[in-house]
Amino acid sequence: MDTSVNQYYKISMVSSNENPTQPALFLHGESPVWDADTQSLYFVDVHAQNIHKLNYITGKISTKHIGKCYGQVNVISLISGSKRLLVSVRAALYLMDWTVSGDASLRLLTSMDEGEPDNMINDGKPDVEGRFWVGTKGPQTGDEVTPDRGTLYSVQQDTRAHIRTALRPVSVSNGIAFALNNSLLYYVDSPTQKIEAFDFDSQKGEISGRRTIIDVTSYGYDDAIPDGMTIDSKGHLWVALMFGGAVLHIDPDKREVVYGYKLPVSRTTSVCWGGPDMDELFVTTGRDAAAAEPLAGALFTIRSTGSRGVPIPAFRFDNADSY
């Protein structure tokens, strides 16, 4: 089901298993991750507490549900050398077996923001050394989040899982990407409406020198907030704009927006590169019950951008399969 946006690029929507002529719709898609080994895309539906796997070859979507006693599922990541996946549920990280049914598939790895029971993990991504950088957000009511209650952490392998506080406070810890030479960490704390950069010491796992790359309000997105983010083979950033209905292509060295890709929904949540040639940008979206958007919640791909992605590192946890 393709829709030509203009002569330069096209968007398409992943079809429903039940009706191939209709798009698959989700409540709040997030955290897309491409698995090159299986040619599959993993992503989550936060509010439905589902983890989905899209088989690129067949176009079929398989689903794993996390029980209601656990809570929202916000993040998923591949684990190096393991068949298990890393997932976040509320403010905890779990190792998960895709093939094991029910909640028995989950193994608690570590929890965060202890003493803040209404906080939740919101986004995360591994670095080149296999650490997992993951951030939280404060209590949320509707679209409003209590400010300055979250934290950005790094999690790395030790005898179990060692957690280090990297940045505090933050309000809605969101998109993370690493420069191609691993000298910078790009970061989004959504309510600031900025994409920021830190100097990154990949050996020590430390960040410093915070500065602004782009303020989206400078480009007319006064009511939008930056959300999920990825990087391409040229070192350019691609950022989903929640409430903005767009994906921004950003040159961080020039600190300017190269192009804005408009989608027919307002809640664009996250992005990642995938496909056999890593030249398709997958875009997750969410629904707003008050908005008349028939395609809200669809999983989109943007093609013919002239850009392509790079392989993203996986979380390193050497005993993941026996943990």
| Domain containing residue 272: CATH number | 2.120.10.30
- Mean pLDDT for the chain overall: 93
- Among residues 228, 227, 219, 220, the alpha carbon closest in space to that of 258 is found at 219
Residue 309, in any domain of the structure? no
Residue 165, in any domain of the structure? yes
Degrees (nearest 5) of the Cα angle 202, 203, 208? 55
Half-sphere exposure of 127 (CA within 13 A, CB side): 27
Residue 313, in any domain of the structure? no
Q: Which domain holds residue 173?
A: 2-303
Position 275 pLDDT exceeds 90: yes
**Which position has the token pair 């996250």?**
270
Residue 323, in any domain of the structure? no
Considering its fold, how many domains does the chain have in total?
1
What is the tens place of the pLDDT at every residue in 205-251? 999 999 999 999 999 999 999 999 999 999 999 999 999 999 999 99
pTM value is 0.95
What is the tens place of the pLDDT at every residue in 166-204? 999 999 999 999 999 999 999 999 999 999 999 999 999
Q: What pLDDT does 316 receive?
A: 96
Residue 190, in any domain of the structure? yes
Residue 233, in any domain of the structure? yes
Count Cβ atoms within 10 A of the Cβ of residue 165 and give its class: 0-12 exposed, 13-18 middle, 19 or more buried.
exposed
**H-assigned helices in the chain:** none
